[in-house]
Amino acid sequence: MLKKSSLVLWGVVLFVAWNALLLFFLWTRPPAFDDHSHLTEEVIRLAQDAELELEHQKDLLRQIHRYSTLWSKKRKKVEEAGRLPPPAAASNTGALPATEAVPPRSRASPDAVLPVVVIACDRSTVRRCLDKLLHYRPSRERFPIIVSQDCGHEETARVIASYGEAVMHIKQPDLSDIPVPTDHRKFQGYYKIARHYRWALSQVFRTFQYRAAIVVEDDLEVAPDFFEYFQAAFPLLLADPSLWCVSAWNDNGKEQMVEAGRAELLYRTDFFPGLGWLLLSELWDELEPKWPRAFWDDWMRQPEQRRSRSCIRPEVSRTMTFGRKGVSHGQFFDQYLKFIKLNDRFVPFTQLDLSYLKKEEYERSFLPAVYGAPELRVEELQGNQRRDLGTVRVQYSSRDSFKAFAKALGVMDDLKSGVPRAGYRGIVSFLYRGRRVYLAPPSDWTGYDPSWS
């Protein structure tokens, strides 16, 4: 295991070596021009570039030095309590090669530390996110908060700094524009977000060597039982290799579409929800080497990444977004996101038996419930007919019929690699006019068709 003191020493060595190379390059570079004025301009430009790189390297060194002492104290305290096994030594690349088989589960304790990583940029309203996290956080030791900031926005940086040692503030050092194809210039923001995610998660899993992390963005507000939910679901994620994340989000979680009185309900979903999600370090080992340059969340939804694995998601969301403005320019916000119901009561998830969410048990109960429900046509549902039937099923058989029925019933109708939002085996569960509805494919369903996207 690499100790933090060694990491600081290596940081110093790399810092000095890099700057020595820069100076050597400047001194030994042959003149590119005969004209002295051009040569002077070239030397000035190179000196300015060198100065920027020096600042870049010094910033990295300051971050490593700032948190080395803090990390050493935290790790000592946690390891003495027997809650966090020593991490494996980090490799030079910081990643393990991905294989076709699903990677083995971590043997980390179910009571391991779960840091919350807040992905921030230029929203000074990050205060709303941090205030709720700190208000509901049951333990500073169990749930350290790391705010990773991109963009270099000074006002946002001041807001984060105002929390002092209550949060750890790290800064993405590379703020440069990213070369993108001409037709992607308007998507520069998505490229920077993907770069920031990669840097932030690498800090969490490589530098700080946590075994798992909860990821939220700076425009999310959390529910009173946000931490309780993830603490209870973490052992499930460790135990079931058919799971690859736990999410706080229900894509179809508008107030009239969820059973708020049963906030303890949890589901499996084949759709990666994001918006407050827990992952293991093993998953980062797998994803980091092939991390995309942009659109990371839709990339996660591709079959090559999902590999038939599922996430856990709640009936009632444990996060809500208040960030209408962003790189997506409010896409879906006015129609869906601002209506998402945030859970407002505490569910003691750690006292509940969640084993029913393991794949085999879940399918033994969930699938018979779906296909045992009487089938109803969309028109009958819209006309509020056959109320005596209670829970019902609406069956679709094609991409077009799914989209038509979803739109008619107020469900999000977009598909990613053929997977409907919040769907499991193609089944989407929601409330419509107070009754449970399963929008489902035929019972002989054989898998998703990516061409449906």
Catalytic positions are 297
Closest CA to 421 of 435, 434, 439, 437: 439
- C-alpha 435/C-alpha 107 separation (Å) is 42
- Please tell me the distance from the alpha carbon of residue 305 to that of residue 118, in angstroms, as a whole number: 23
Q: Which among 211, 185, 197 has a CA at the least distance from the CA of 75?
A: 211
For residues 395 and 441, the answer to whether their CB atoms sit within 8 Å is yes
Q: Which DSSP string corresponds to 254-311?
A: BGGGS-GGGTT-EEEESS---SSEEEEHHHHHHHGGG--SS-HHHHHTSHHHHTT-EE
Measured between its terminal Cα atoms, the distance across the chain in Å is 45
The helix-helix angle for 126-136 and 154-161 (nearest 10°) equals 20
Output the six-digit token pair for 294: 């942009």
* Cα separation, 346 vs 13, whole angstroms: 50
Please tell me whether residue 372 adopts helix, strand or coil conformation.
coil
Contact 438, 427 (CB under 8 A): yes
Whole-angstrom distance, CA of residue 218 vs CA of residue 168: 14
Calpha distance 249→67 (Å, rounded): 31
Strands 243-247 and 277-280 come out as: antiparallel
Backbone angles phi, psi at 170, to 5 degrees: -115, 155
CA angle 34, 40, 46 (to 5 degrees): 115
**In degrees, to the nearest 5, what angle opens at C-alpha 334 toward C-alphas 177 and 200?**
35
Q: Mapping DSSP to helix (H, G, I), strand (E, B) and coil, where does residue 220 land?
A: strand
β-pair partners for 72: none
* Structure-block tokens of residue 359: 């794949």
